[in-house]
Amino acid sequence: MSSRRHVVITQFGPPEVLTLTTEALPEPGANEAQLRQTAIGFNFIDVYQRKGAYPLPLPTGLGFEAAGVVEAVGSGVSDLQVGDRVAYMNAGVGAYADWRNVPADRLVRLPDSVSDEAAASLLFKGMTAQYLLRKTHAVQPGDLLLVHSAAGGVGQILTRWAAALGATVIGTTGSPHKREAALAAGCEAVIDLTDAAWPQAFLEATGGRKARVVYDAVGKDTLIRSLDCAAPFGLVVSYGGASGPAPAIEPELLNKKGCLFLTRPSVFPHNADVRTFRANAADLFDAIGKGHVRVDIGERFPLDRIAAAHAAAEARRIVGALLITP
Ligand SMILES: NC(=O)c1ccc[n+]([C@@H]2O[C@H](COP(=O)([O-])OP(=O)(O)OC[C@H]3O[C@@H](n4cnc5c(N)ncnc54)[C@H](OP(=O)(O)O)[C@@H]3O)[C@@H](O)[C@H]2O)c1
């Protein structure tokens, strides 16, 4: 293969700024593996970056995760071989491509039980759920959790895994047609976020009990009222802003709402070194093997319809994960 197709943006803006281009494929450099990508993941962070909400130097590629087959390795690569099936989620932007050279220490070999499509659609989201329920809070049997966007990509994985660990999960969704997916993922009750009184609906569903942890990646539209759903000394995890950036919060408000803890974590520092990354991935693959984590692919888009994929995600149309095929 001497050329590759990849998506670039030269300006921030609507989905139409995503442009598929062809360029020469360089040989893999030292400590790099060359991948023929077979499946590419979509994550909501890709939208923030395309719009410039998380600005990148331009021009830039986009996309954080993909799976594929190692077709060549550069010098210094000893732990991967041609023919290995691998995936990544933490190798910098540029996954929207058919071929890509990737630092070998950002790759994890896939077990037979995890297909390329499953890996590409759940590694980033699954590794997010992994740290959210192992590290941000070590979820225990009996914990009551509120998970926003429970029918979404991260939301479904987090819900299913937390329920398997014995937690009671109450989910929210932004439209009634996502309710069944949230229930199927393991929510005990699903709250409709379009109901302005959703915090009261949450308390009605729990008999007045508040959550040990609130997982909120909706941000602007929900975070302040998420504080009302957390039990005294509870934890509110603001891990995204699908509706816009989360508002600033005065520490004194956390006191008034019940001596709450508030954190804003990210998946990248949790997987910054190769040993931790591969150990976390092994934990995720183990959970997949046990059936605690599963991916429901909502829709597939070929690489040349990447703009339509972004438009569908932003319209909140996708239930489950969106997969891009090279
Ligand atoms: N901090 C981290 O480490 C980390 C890592 C991965 C992802 N994330 C965050 O987790 C969230 C979920 O990511 P994902 O890739 O799995 O996406 P996703 O859940 O499949 O899509 C985002 C969801 O946000 C909800 N939403 C609420 N208001 C919205 C709005 N105004 N516009 C669009 N969507 C809105 C929608 O669900 P409803 O319609 O049901 O409300 C939508 O399904 C994102 O906010 C992402 O940035 C954070």
List C-alpha distances in Å: 174 to 14, 23, 149, 194. Answer: 22, 40, 7, 6
The low-confidence residues of the chain, meaning pLDDT below 70, are 1
> Going by CA atoms, what residue is nearest to atom 41 of ligand 1?
174
- Amino acid, single-letter form, for residue 324: I
Q: Which of 40, 42, 43, 263 to mutate to test the pocket of ligand 1 (most atoms within 8 A of CB)?
A: 43
Q: How high is the pLDDT of residue 1? A: 61
Measured in Å, residue 101 CA sits from the centre of ligand 1 at 28
Give the position, in ligand 1's atom list, of the atom nearest the Cα of 314.
33
**Residues composing the chain:** 326
The Cα angle at residue 285 between residues 280 and 289, in degrees rounded to 5: 145
Strand 3-9 and strand 60-61: pairing? antiparallel
Closest by CA to 235, choosing from 168, 299, 146, is 146
**Per-residue DSSP letter, 125:** H
Q: Are 148 and 118 in contact (CB under 8 A)?
A: no
Residue 218 has a pLDDT of 97
Taking the centre of ligand 1 as the mean of its atom positions, its distance from the CA of residue 6, in whole angstroms, is 24
Query: 65-88 as b/e, with b when 16 or more CB fall inside 10 Å?
Result: bbbbbbeebbeebeebeeebbbbb
Q: What is the DSSP code string of 160-203? A: HHHHHTT-EEEEEESSGGGHHHHHHTT-SEEEETTSTTHHHHHH
Atom 19 of ligand 1, residue of closest alpha carbon: 152
Distance 245 CA to ligand 1 centre (A): 12
Distance (Å, rounded) from C-alpha 29 to C-alpha 101? 8
Q: What pLDDT is recorded for position 254?
A: 98
Beta strands in 175-270 (DSSP E): 189-192, 211-216, 230-238, 261-263
- Which residues approach ligand 1 with their CB closer than 6 A? 43-45, 125, 128, 149, 151-155, 173-175, 178, 193, 217-218, 221, 239-240, 242-243, 265-267, 314, 316
pLDDT tens digits, one per residue of 59-108? 999 999 999 999 999 999 999 999 999 999 999 999 999 999 999 999 99
Gap between the Cα atoms of 321 and 44, Å rounded? 10
Which has the closest alpha carbon to 323: 91, 67, 70?
67
Which ranges in 207-250 belong to alpha helices (H)? 223-226
159, 166, 160: which is closest to 139 by C-alpha?
A: 166
- Residue 316's pLDDT is what? 87
Diameter of the chain measured on Cα atoms: 63
Q: Which atom of ligand 1 is nearest to the CA of 243?
A: 31
Provide Rg for the chain, Cα atoms: 20
Residue 319 near residue 297, CB atoms below 8 Å: no
Q: Which atom of ligand 1 is found nearest the CA of 241?
A: 45
Domains in the chain with CATH codes: 3-122+271-325 (3.90.180.10), 141-263 (3.40.50.720)
The pLDDT value recorded for residue 34 is 98
Work out whether the CA dihedral 182, 121, 145, 317 comes out positive or negative.
negative
Residue 206, both tokens: 């729990």
- Going from the Cα of 137 to the center of ligand 1, the distance in angstroms, rounded, reads 20
User: Residue 295: its pLDDT value, please?
Assistant: 84
pTM attached to this predicted model: 0.95
**Ligand 1 pocket: which of 40, 42, 43, 44 to mutate (most atoms within 8 A of CB):** 44
pLDDT of residue 123: 97
DSSP string, 30-57: TTEEEEEEEEEE--HHHHHHHHTSS--P
What is the reported pLDDT for 318? 86
If you search the block for the tokens 């590419």, which residue do you land on? 40
- Closest ligand 1 atom, CA of 242? 45
| Substitution candidate for ligand 1 out of 218, 317, 319 with most atoms within 8 A of CB | 218
Looking from the CA of residue 173, the nearest atom of ligand 1 is: 40
Burial of 104 (0-12, 13-18, 19+ CB in 10 A): buried
The atom of ligand 1 lying closest to the CA of 154 is 16
Chain centroid to CA 228: 25
